[in-house]
Amino acid sequence: MTIAVNQRIKCRIYCEIASALIDTPSDLLLHTFRQRKGMRSRLSVAQNPNCANATSCTVNAVAQWSRGRCQVKGCSVTAESVFTFNEQKLVDTLLCCDLVALAARGARDPVFLISDDDDMIPAILLGGRMGGVVHVLETRSRKSAYRTLLQLYNVQISAL
């Protein structure tokens, strides 16, 4: 990734898919990319008053599929038989473990995490509490419910 400011390159970041813990790089954790059947989440529907054709809108059908079945009465087709989605497993946990391991080394080297994922908050807090210098770079500016707690442990938060 290249970060540019005013048409000038400010820095370049080279990234890899996490496949091992930073302290045990020879213990490879492969096969993290998985294909799953069905739909990832159940959806709630709020009918939009600006819908151009509310009587024929398919939003209810999408929500019904997200619950695992067709909305047509008597249809036996399931979401698992017609939909798939891809996901990557282990990566967030690997990053959290690495953040804590690096923070445990003390303040000699700062730790930078680029993420908007609140699932990382416990590891970020622990890293800051352990005395690590932790910087969180968010890809979008937002109000986090945890910002005050993060600042209590000297976690620096910036938007890219």
For residue 101, give the CATH number of its domain: 3.40.50
CB 133 within 8 A of CB 107: yes
Q: Position of tokens 């620096």?
A: 156
97 and 74, same structural domain? no
pLDDT at position 4 over 90: no
95 and 81, same structural domain? no
The pLDDT confidence band at residue 5, using thresholds 50, 70 and 90, is confident
- pLDDT of 107: 75
| Average pLDDT of span 135-144 | 82
Within 7-90, residue ranges assigned H as helices are: 59-66, 79-82
Of 87, 118, 148, which residue constitutes the final position of a domain? 87
What is the residue range of 59's domain?
35-87
Decide if 29 is inside a domain: no
Separation of alpha carbons 102 and 113, rounded Å: 11
Q: Helices 91-104 & 121-129, crossing angle to 10 degrees? A: 10
Decide if 23 is inside a domain: no
| Average pLDDT of span 30-59 | 88
At 70-121, the pLDDT tens digits run: 989 999 999 999 999 998 889 899 999 999 999 998 777 899 998 888 999 9
58 and 47, same structural domain? yes
109 and 61, same structural domain? no
- pLDDT of 101: 94
Tell me what percent of the residues of the chain surpass a pLDDT of 90: 45
Q: Cβ contacts of residue 61 below 8 Å, gap of 6+?
A: 71
pTM attached to this predicted model: 0.70
- pLDDT of 115: 87
95 and 83, same structural domain? no
Decide if 50 is inside a domain: yes
In terms of residues, how long is the chain?
160
pLDDT at position 15 over 80: no
Number of domains in the chain: 2
pLDDT at position 18 over 80: no
Antiparallel, parallel or unpaired: β 134-138 and 111-114: parallel
Q: Which long-range contacts (CB under 8 A, 24 or more apart) does 111-117 make?
A: 111/135, 112/137, 113/137, 114/13, 114/138, 114/139, 114/160, 115/139, 116/140, 116/142, 117/92
The DSSP 8-state label assigned to residue 113 in this structure reads E
Bigger pLDDT: 144 or 102? 102
| Average pLDDT of span 135-160 | 86
48 and 74, same structural domain? yes
Bigger pLDDT: 3 or 65? 65
61 and 42, same structural domain? yes
Decide if 27 is inside a domain: no
Decide if 24 is inside a domain: no
Of 52, 87, 122, which residue constitutes the final position of a domain? 87
Separation of alpha carbons 37 and 10, rounded Å: 42
